[in-house]
Amino acid sequence: MPDSSDARSRILASIRMSLGAPSAPEAIAAEYASIPRRYTQSSAADEPALLELFTDRLLEYDAGIYRSEREGIAATVAEILTMRSKRRLAVPAGLSAEWFPDGFEFTVADGWSNDQLDTIDGTLSGCTAAIAETGSIVLQNVPGQGPRHLSLVPDYFLCVVFVEQIVATVPEAFDRIKTTSTLPTTFISGPSATADIEMTRIKGVHGPRFLDVILSI
């Protein structure tokens, strides 16, 4: 199978050549570094302030918010799944088994097809980072998070976010994933919803209709 990143590089190089833009890596890096960046790139907000802002954003998006001590994550998962009437959850390889409460079914589903994932009650996973200003969760294809379709196909998504994973701004999040930036990465900002069709708000078009977040302190 062709490497999609190589294909992307060739396409971008062709565009630069057509535009007469520099194509050498050093010239491209210098051109990128020279772009003025007058937007907010960081924040001095402390942890409680970031947690409050992130929570407010998630509530605005109609996501469910729950707090838990680390040793109580499994009990919180059980509480949420019982309330949601969910029993069968897909999970990524490498997710901590300590998060799995008794009485529920958790199946590693990294290799499942979209059709198989469409039959499951939902997905449970961790995350790479979270952004307070935008209320976004950043997922990457790594152990404990898995491929993108795990979080996009099922109707329900339950994600565990540790407080130290929360940053204030999008640039700070990109700094967090700098060393893994070539991995497939998904940004989720609340349950999926769109009003593109006749200005009617519809949930679940581009991802899960229901999102719950466990904030672990």
- Tens of pLDDT, residue by residue over 143-200, are 999 999 999 999 999 999 999 999 999 999 999 999 998 999 999 998 766 666 666 6
**What is the number of residues in the chain?**
217
Q: Which pLDDT belongs to residue 22?
A: 60
Residue 1 confidence class, pLDDT cut points 50, 70, 90: very low
Residues 13 and 90 in one domain: no
Residue 53: Cβ within 10 Å count: 19
Query: What's the structural domain count of the chain?
Result: 2
Co-location of 56 and 157 in the same domain = yes
**Are 60 and 98 found together in one domain?**
yes
48's tokens = 């409680």
Structure tokens at 135: 């209320």
Give me the domain span that covers residue 13.
Answer: 1-35
Asked if residue 59 and residue 17 are part of one domain, the reply reads no
| Residue in the structure block whose two tokens are 């997710």 | 95
* pLDDT, tens digit, 9 for 90 and up, residues 79-136: 999 999 999 999 999 999 999 999 999 999 999 999 999 999 999 999 999 999 999 9
CATH code for the domain of 153: 3.40.50.10420
* Same domain? 1 vs 80: no
Judge if 61 and 3 occupy the same domain: no
Give Dmax over CA atoms of the chain in angstroms.
62
Closest CA to 186 of 49, 108, 98, 92: 92
Residue 25 sits in the same domain as residue 101? no
The two tokens of residue 64 are 């469910």
Distances (CA, A) of 87 to 76, 79, 170, 196: 14, 11, 34, 33
CA distance to 115, 125, 144, 193, per residue, from 109 (Å): 12, 11, 11, 25
| 16 and 53 belong to one structural domain | no
Dist CA 122 CA 82 (whole Å): 13
* In 34-169, alpha helices (H): 47-60, 73-84, 114-117, 149-152
| Torsion angle, alpha carbons of 103, 76, 153, 63, to 10 | 150
